[in-house]
Structure 1
Amino acid sequence: METMQQILATLSDWVGAVNGFVWGVPMLVGILGVGLFLTIGLRFMSVLNIPTAFRLLWSGRNPDGERAGEISPFNALMTSLSATIGTGNIAGVATAIFLGGPGALFWMWCTALVGMATKYAEAVCAVKFRETDDQGNHIGGPMYYIKNGLGKNWMWLGTAFAVFGTIAGFGIGNTVQTNSVADAINATFGVPPLVSGLVIMVLVGLVLIGGVKRIAEVAGKLVPFMAISYVAAGLIVLALNITEIPSAIALIVHSAFNPEAALGGAAGVTMWLAIRFGVARGVFSNEAGLGSAPIAHAAAKTNNPVEQGLVAMLGTFIDTIIVCSITGLAIVVSGAWDSGVNGAPLTALAFGSVLPGLGEPIVAIALAVFGFTTILGWSYYCEKCVQYLFGVKSIKVFRVIFILVVPVGTIASLDFIWLLADTMNAMMAIPNLIALALLSPVVFKLTREFFSSK
């Protein structure tokens, strides 16, 4: 037993060292660098065409039957958002502010603005290079645009992405989410964690059996409802502190460049910490550059990669510019940011200080619903990675295993699982960013042709 503990400790130290590297300077520079390169190459199209993207999203609720794909462009975005709008929007933002000061929120905004171009390019490539599997379903994502866009010599890179995505899916997309949901429900309503885990397992099972169409259908209804409800509660918190908003924004911008002003939860915050945690938590939340979202967008009913790319980039805008901003501003205007509390409890404290008796339950329910939908979204991402590695016949076996693993998150120690999953999450970005950089001429060409025809 002692030998096993030593092995786990050694393995944990090794994975921790890798985690520190993959989420360090090279990764953050890579994510921001590729995003900025794509933004400039697209001539800031991703920022200038947000109204056009919303029009396409609205018109894409019920596409005509002549378009290839399984789910509507609208539901493809909702499926993507089901995975991105999660614990990162509540706990992740709070952690970024706790560790990096209010200035971390500013760097989250910067990450989102360049991340929109990244998400756009991901979806364009996903639709352009997608395939049809043996069951007649459209499949795509980084592993497919690496294989079909870069050629056979690069297939090992696609395989690496699929391996990293599979491991991350069982961790950050399954057990970690269940653990967060169960803890929130237990702390607020006193429900035993295992009971929550079993209920979540049943609900996830009922959805997963129906495949991507069922996931998209549930996401298309649940994601807009949960996002609007949480944003509404956040806006109430901001409205009751409306006089504090200008000074809060000034503090956020000032803290992004002046370490003296960012001495909140973690005394001695530097500008680098504000950048590091703002960028890292921003990417963790909106997943721009990780390569997960294009897996969902590849199944969209569309014949035009650029149109789906425009819809896809709204995922980053909605997740970070809207939802994360609501959380971050609520924490700052309420004054909770320097309370010494961290994670989801910090967000609950911010909401509860303004809405006594209501704030904590609102955050707990939002965290539960966000966590549940994240499991649904990541189940599809993970399934497509497994399918790429082992073929269509592996899907049914995968779904059974994924469902059975759900309650494990409520009873197991997740320190190592979280560390491993977080590391694999970052490792996914490496092959994806390489592919996006190499395929950027294709993205630029398709974009020019689309807008010149308009």
Structure 2
Amino acid sequence: MDLLQTIFGVIGDLTWGWALIPLLVVLGGFITLLTGFVQIRFFKRMFRVLSGRNQTSDPDAISARAALLVSVGGRVGGGNIAGVAVAITLGGPGAVFWMWAIALVGMATSLVECSLAQLYKRRQPTGDYRGGPARSILHGLGAQYRWLAIVYAVCLIAAFGLGFNAFQGNTVAGAMQDSLGVNRTVTGALLAVIAGFIVFGGIHRIAKVADVVVPVMALGYIAMALLIVLLNITAVPGVLVDIVANAFGFREAVAGGMGAALTQGLQRGLFSNEAGLGSAPNVAATADVRHPISQGITQSLSVFIDTIFICTCTAMIVLLGGIYQPGAEAIDGIALTQQSLVFHLGPWAQYALSAMILLFAFSSIIYNYYLGENALTVITHSHAARNVLRLVIIGIVFLGATAPGATAVFFFSDPLMGVLAVVNLVVIMMLLPTCLRLLTDFRAQLAAGVDRPVLDPADFPDLDIDRTAWTGKAPAG
């Protein structure tokens, strides 16, 4: 075990510890420039998906909105509640500014990786679509890179399907035990049963649950934060000034000054919104849309919601309260957010937060499961293997919830996510010219007066596209 921990520790150092975060930032900036600041030019268009105008007329298909909500449900989690509080504690208020910055850059990266996943998606016998970085490798780079697709798939299953689901179960059980006194075994059993019912229903049941759970949890948390902002409206300008001043080192809230703020903001922001890590494209590929860029734009919105909306909510809850003291001894992330809510709204707020954490973690569990399932189909199409994975993940959720120290076993999650990110960045860089061709086609149709551009496979005869997935005709509605 010690040898394995050492090996994975080295892998983690070679990815997260060395150059991965700067590379993600630089690549995101590079993509932003090459695409002509696409996240800003299409910003208004991102919100069209929420109105329902882009919904498919096929009741059996996954809509762009459904795929968005599944992605938001997966991105939004402990990182938005605990991670932001940790970033502020270790990096000062300035960390929030750099979280905003990396979100704006990450929106462009997410657009590219999700558009590629859409382009190379494959229609399944059931009529559903499957795609993601692994299939982008197979059909975009060629069969000779199948080994790279397998590496990606294995890492995705291990990191998200197993490791992160154990952590989510542990987070929920800990919060329920601390705030409500609910035994970990009870919470673990409830999580496992509900998760099992949903994951055995496949992507359609996952999408339907996300369509209900995600708006409730996100809007509920945002409403609490807005209430706190209104109650402290006169202090908001001062907090915003502190965020900017600390971000550029004009005021040092913690040791390390601007360097600590920059490091914590970028790291926590990337962990929260997952832009460039190669996870969200797996869900983005399930949507039935007219043009790959359309879903890329939609997925940019999920990064915006995750970091600009939800993370800012946590930042305001913490910075407008009296619990956080710059330079003081660090408080556990969840505890800092929870204590700050109680400071603002009273004891009832800790119970509301526990409910939010339950919904956040639950949506992440079903999202992580689908990532694992989708990765498994790259390795094998066996239904038996898929059912085994479902049972294993249900067991992992229960184990993570019931044993406080059980998650220490999953020391491989972060290093393997680092490998995932490296593979995904290679794919993005190699296929970026293809995505730029898609973007040119999308913009040309808009310029010609086409309100909702459609991909015609005949315009891209050199690409290995599933023609049954892209008929060149817009779905009705």
TM category (shorter chain) comes to: over 0.9
Partner letter of residue 235 of structure 2? E
Paired residue for 1:426?
Answer: 418
Once residues 80 and 392 of structure 1 are traced to their aligned partners in structure 2, the CA distance between those partners, rounded to angstroms, is: 26
Paired residue for 2:366?
Answer: 376
Give the count of matched residue pairs.
441
Once residues 144 and 322 of structure 2 are traced to their aligned partners in structure 1, the CA distance between those partners, rounded to angstroms, is: 54
Paired residue for 1:11?
Answer: 4
Partner letter of residue 321 of structure 1? I
Once residues 298 and 417 of structure 1 are traced to their aligned partners in structure 2, the CA distance between those partners, rounded to angstroms, is: 32
Partner letter of residue 41 of structure 2? L
User: Is 2:443 the counterpart of 1:451?
Assistant: yes
Query: How much is the aligned-residue C-alpha RMSD, in angstroms?
Result: 1.8
Q: What's the TM-score, normalizing by structure 1? A: 0.93
List aligned pairs for 1:326-337, cutoff 5 A: 326-337=313-324
Out of 227, 232, 238, which is 1:236 matched to? 227
C-alpha offsets along residues 319-345 of structure 1, whole Å, 9 cap, x if unaligned? 001110110122112143325312111
C-alpha offsets along residues 88-124 of structure 1, whole Å, 9 cap, x if unaligned? 1101111111222211111111110010011111111
SS at match of 1:419: coil
List aligned pairs for 1:77-88, cutoff 5 A: 77-88=68-79
CA 1:106–1:418 in structure 2 vs 1: closer, same or farther (change >3 Å)? farther
Structure 1 residue 189: Cα displacement: 0.2
Once residues 316 and 71 of structure 1 are traced to their aligned partners in structure 2, the CA distance between those partners, rounded to angstroms, is: 20
Once residues 319 and 222 of structure 1 are traced to their aligned partners in structure 2, the CA distance between those partners, rounded to angstroms, is: 15
User: Is 2:58 the counterpart of 1:58?
Assistant: no
Paired residue for 1:294?
Answer: 281
Once residues 40 and 120 of structure 2 are traced to their aligned partners in structure 1, the CA distance between those partners, rounded to angstroms, is: 25
**Quick check: 210-219 or 40-49, which moved more?**
40-49
Is this contact kept in 1: 2:245–2:251, CA < 8 A? Answer: no
Out of 105, 127, 151, which is 2:118 matched to? 127
CA 1:392–1:134 in structure 2 vs 1: closer, same or farther (change >3 Å)? farther
**Quick check: 391-400 or 43-52, which moved more?**
391-400
User: Is 2:427 the counterpart of 1:440?
Assistant: no
User: Is 2:17 the counterpart of 1:27?
Assistant: no
Structure 1 residue 390: Cα displacement: 2.2
Identity %: 33
Which residues of structure 2 form unaligned runs of 5+? 447-477
C-alpha offsets along residues 34-67 of structure 1, whole Å, 9 cap, x if unaligned? 111111111011122111111134235631239x
Partner letter of residue 163 of structure 1? V
Is this contact kept in 1: 2:88–2:95, CA < 8 A? Answer: yes
SS at match of 1:15: helix
Is this contact kept in 2: 1:117–1:313, CA < 8 A? Answer: yes
Paired residue for 1:309?
Answer: 296
Is this contact kept in 2: 1:176–1:414, CA < 8 A? Answer: no
Is this contact kept in 1: 2:64–2:288, CA < 8 A? Answer: yes
Once residues 142 and 341 of structure 2 are traced to their aligned partners in structure 1, the CA distance between those partners, rounded to angstroms, is: 51
Paired residue for 2:90?
Answer: 99
Partner letter of residue 12 of structure 1? Q
SS at match of 2:192: helix
C-alpha offsets along residues 383-406 of structure 1, whole Å, 9 cap, x if unaligned? 111121122432222112211221
CA 1:247–1:21 in structure 2 vs 1: closer, same or farther (change >3 Å)? farther
Paired residue for 2:142?
Answer: 151
**Quick check: 173-182 or 270-279, which moved more?**
270-279
Out of 293, 301, 322, which is 2:309 matched to? 322
Is this contact kept in 2: 1:198–1:407, CA < 8 A? Answer: yes
Structure 1 residue 259: Cα displacement: 7.8
Once residues 327 and 312 of structure 1 are traced to their aligned partners in structure 2, the CA distance between those partners, rounded to angstroms, is: 22
Once residues 177 and 387 of structure 2 are traced to their aligned partners in structure 1, the CA distance between those partners, rounded to angstroms, is: 32
SS at match of 1:386: helix
Out of 347, 355, 359, which is 2:337 matched to? 347
CA 1:20–1:362 in structure 2 vs 1: closer, same or farther (change >3 Å)? farther
CA 1:60–1:120 in structure 2 vs 1: closer, same or farther (change >3 Å)? farther
Paired residue for 1:5?
Answer: none
Once residues 148 and 60 of structure 1 are traced to their aligned partners in structure 2, the CA distance between those partners, rounded to angstroms, is: 31
Which residues of structure 1 form unaligned runs of 5+? 1-7
Partner letter of residue 375 of structure 2? C
Once residues 445 and 344 of structure 1 are traced to their aligned partners in structure 2, the CA distance between those partners, rounded to angstroms, is: 44
Is this contact kept in 2: 1:133–1:392, CA < 8 A? Answer: no
User: Is 2:376 the counterpart of 1:386?
Assistant: yes
**Quick check: 150-159 or 57-66, which moved more?**
57-66
